[in-house]
Amino acid sequence: MSTRRVAVVTGASSGIGAATARALAAQGFRVVCAARRTDRIEQLAAEIDGLAVACDVTDAESVAGLAGAVGDILHVLVNNAGGAFGSAPVESADAEQWQAMYDVNVVGLMRVTQALLPALRASGDAVLINVGSTAGRNAYETGAGYTAAKHGTKVVTQTLRLELVGEPIRVSEVAPGMVHTEEFSLVRFGGDQAKADAVYAGVPDPLMAEDVADAITWVATRPAHVNIDELVIKPRAQAAQHKVHRV
């Protein structure tokens, strides 16, 4: 039986999640890679000697399957599955897209956390990291559905820290600003590559998935008594949500 510490990363099939799975594996963790696209997570798990578990965080049965595959002991949980769907003023926003964003970024996080808390507790020293966003700290035009959901991620994180105080579980949020991942903006704009590219146009150096993975891994590997409550990480070119240097 493996003696490696165990980590679960949701949304491990692309972007920040995949990079985090690789970074944690490089630190010696046995990483359980969870997402809906099985081909991608199976390939990743083979590469890092981890385990692929097909999981839709919006489906209770699927999340129960993840918990079953993880087993009795878990050291690190990275609730990363999430995203933005659509971009529209409140006046013309799509209610289904708002519901879908709340379901994956907030309720999904709650489902996975509920299912895995017993194993985190049983480890005797666990770290739970939720991937929030600077969208959970600011408002921007046409972004209310996503910013509302990511404010939810932040507040659930803060609540969990209060509820779990005294237990051997640290609770953190890593909140990135602009990260140039392949799919995030493509998903947001329903596959419109030109609109997705425009988000990063002229930005000299946006963050890459590996930068955020590095931050998450740092949070996950502090000594047991050190809780990083929240870590906001932005590219140098982004001074604020609206203030982005472009060349």
Ligand X SMILES: NC(=O)c1ccc[n+]([C@@H]2O[C@H](COP(=O)([O-])OP(=O)(O)OC[C@H]3O[C@@H](n4cnc5c(N)ncnc54)[C@H](OP(=O)(O)O)[C@@H]3O)[C@@H](O)[C@H]2O)c1
Is 140 a known active-site residue? Answer: no
Judged by CB under 6 A, the residue of 184, 196, 215, 237 near ligand X is 184
Distance of CA 32 to the CA centre of its chain: 14
Nearest approach in angstroms of CB 89 to ligand X is 20
Measured from the CB atom, the residue of 43 and 121 that comes closer to ligand X is 43
Judged by CB under 6 A, the residue of 5, 6, 17, 215 near ligand X is 17
> Under the criterion CB under 6 A, does residue 178 sit at the interface with ligand X?
yes
Whether the CB-CB separation of 136 and 153 falls below 8 Å is answered with yes
Nearest approach in angstroms of CB 165 to ligand X is 25
Beta pairing class for 169-176 and 230-233:
parallel
User: Which H or E run contains 69?
Assistant: helix 60-70
Whether the CB-CB separation of 98 and 151 falls below 8 Å is answered with no
Measured from the CB atom, the residue of 167 and 205 that comes closer to ligand X is 205
User: Which H or E run contains 64?
Assistant: helix 60-70
Report phi then psi at 22, rounded to 5.
-65, -45
Determine the Cα–Cα distance for residues 15 and 41; give it in Å rounded to an integer.
12
Nearest approach in angstroms of CB 100 to ligand X is 9
Whether the CB-CB separation of 222 and 32 falls below 8 Å is answered with no
Determine the Cα–Cα distance for residues 207 and 24; give it in Å rounded to an integer.
19
Site for ligand X in 81-140 (CB under 6 A): 81-83, 104, 108, 131, 133
Judged by CB under 6 A, the residue of 45, 48, 55, 106 near ligand X is 55
> Under the criterion CB under 6 A, does residue 174 sit at the interface with ligand X?
no
Measured from the CB atom, the residue of 121 and 137 that comes closer to ligand X is 137
> Under the criterion CB under 6 A, does residue 24 sit at the interface with ligand X?
no
> Under the criterion CB under 6 A, does residue 50 sit at the interface with ligand X?
no
Q: Which residues pair with 171 in a beta bridge?
A: 128
Judged by CB under 6 A, the residue of 7, 8, 9, 15 near ligand X is 15
Counting residues that bind ligand X (by CB under 6 A) gives: 30
Whether the CB-CB separation of 165 and 221 falls below 8 Å is answered with no
> Under the criterion CB under 6 A, does residue 216 sit at the interface with ligand X?
no
3-state helix, strand, coil in the chain (%, to 5): 45, 15, 35
Binding residues vs ligand X (CB under 6 A): 10-11, 13-17, 35-37, 55-58, 80-83, 104, 108, 131, 133, 176, 178-179, 181, 183-184, 187, 209
Q: Report the catalytic residues.
A: 146
